Amino acid sequence: MATVKVSDASFQADVIESDIPVLVDFWAEWCGPCKQIGPALEEISEEFAGKVTVAKVNIDDDPETPGKFHVRGIPTMMIFKGGQVVATKVGAMTKTKLAEWVAENTDGSAAA
């Protein structure tokens, strides 16, 4: 399962009302560190398929949602469970650290 593009209009249905945890990546096209972690997020979306959805919100195209969640720097990643933010990370990190963070905050582990 690849990452999912989420907009201000679809955020409620795609993230808040999701039955499984959602990692939301707030990013922008011009952000170097955002591009740096992009491939790792794609891999994580595959490894956690069915357990966690990895969603991307472009802050330039959809500024309302980042404002609502007080996103001040990018990349900012938030994990939502049951419609609530349960964890937040700001800045790029390695795929290993990212996968550990996702597993710790979603009660799941990567698929074998």
- Residues 49-85 pLDDT 10s: 999 999 999 999 999 999 999 999 999 999 999 999 9
Asked if 79 and 48 touch (Cβ cutoff 8 Å), the reply is no
Q: CB neighbours of 97 closer than 8 A, spacing ≥ 6?
A: none
Count of domains forming the chain: 1
State pTM to two decimals: 0.94
The reported pLDDT for the residue numbered 92 is 94
* pLDDT, average across residues 90-101: 95
Q: Are strands 76-81 and 84-90 parallel, antiparallel or unpaired?
A: antiparallel
Q: What is the domain range of residue 8?
A: 4-104
Give a yes or no: residue 111 inside a domain. Answer: no
pLDDT at residue number 112: 40
**Residue 109 binned pLDDT confidence (cut-offs 50, 70, 90):** low
> What CATH number does the domain containing 97 carry?
3.40.30.10
- Which residues have a catalytic role annotated? 31, 34
109 lies in some domain: no
Non-local (6+) Cβ contacts of 19 within 8 A are none
Task: Tell me the residue type at 48.
Answer: F
**Residues 34-55: tens digit of each pLDDT:** 999 999 999 999 999 999 999 9
Cβ burial of 8 (10 Å; 0-12, 13-18, 19+) is: middle
- List, for residues 7-42, the tens digit of each pLDDT value: 999 999 999 999 999 999 999 999 999 999 999 999
The pLDDT score that the predictor gives to residue 107 is 76
Residue 4 contacts residue 56 (beta carbons within 8 Å): yes
One-letter amino acid at 76 equals: T
Q: Does residue 96 belong to any structural domain of this protein? A: yes
Asked whether residue 112 is assigned to any structural domain, the reply reads no
Integer Rg of the chain from CA: 13
Residue type, 112: A
20 against 107, higher pLDDT: 20
Residue 9: inside a domain: yes
